Amino acid sequence: METLLHRDALARFGHALSDPTRTQILLTLSTAPSYPSDLAAQIGVSRQILSNHLACLRGCGLVVAVPEGRRSRYELADPRIGRALADLTGLVLAVDPACCPDSGAAGCC
């Protein structure tokens, strides 16, 4: 396991949040640990898609799999991640729709 510099850790967090499905997984896990089949049903994605996103989130160090017999329960790797998500969702942003339309545009963050 490698310890990342602050900027690298933030870049990984940003990468994780750049996808709506990964963001929803993190928000769901911030309320309680869950099993992949339950997460897939809650979020409305296939188990294969969920599995790919969980692998990404594990690689970023944001979630961990806790073995429970033949199953694994997923939870946030650190409770501070949940608090950071709560802080981020509490922000109110003034967005210029000409800059960042839903389809994405050059110059968008």
SS (HEC) of the chain: CCCCCHHHHHHHHHHHHCCHHHHHHHHHHHHCCECHHHHHHHHCCCHHHHHHHHHHHHHCCCEEEEEECCEEEEEECCHHHHHHHHHHHCCCCCCCCCCCCCCCCCCCC
**pLDDT band for position 105 (50/70/90)?**
very low
Q: For residue 76, tell me if it sits in a domain.
A: yes
Q: Is 97 within a domain?
A: no
| CB within 8 Å of 97: residues ≥ 6 apart | none
What average pLDDT does the structure give for the chain? Answer: 87
Q: What is the CATH number of the domain that holds 10?
A: 1.10.10.10
| pTM across the whole model | 0.80
- Residue 65 in domain: yes
Q: Which domain covers residue 24, as residue numbers?
A: 6-89
Structural domain count, the chain: 1
In a domain, 96, yes or no: no
**pLDDT bracket for residue 91 (50, 70, 90):** confident
Q: Does residue 103 belong to any structural domain of this protein?
A: no
CA 10 to chain centre: 13
Q: 33-86 pLDDT, tens per residue?
A: 999 999 999 999 999 999 999 999 999 899 999 999 999 999 999 999 999 999
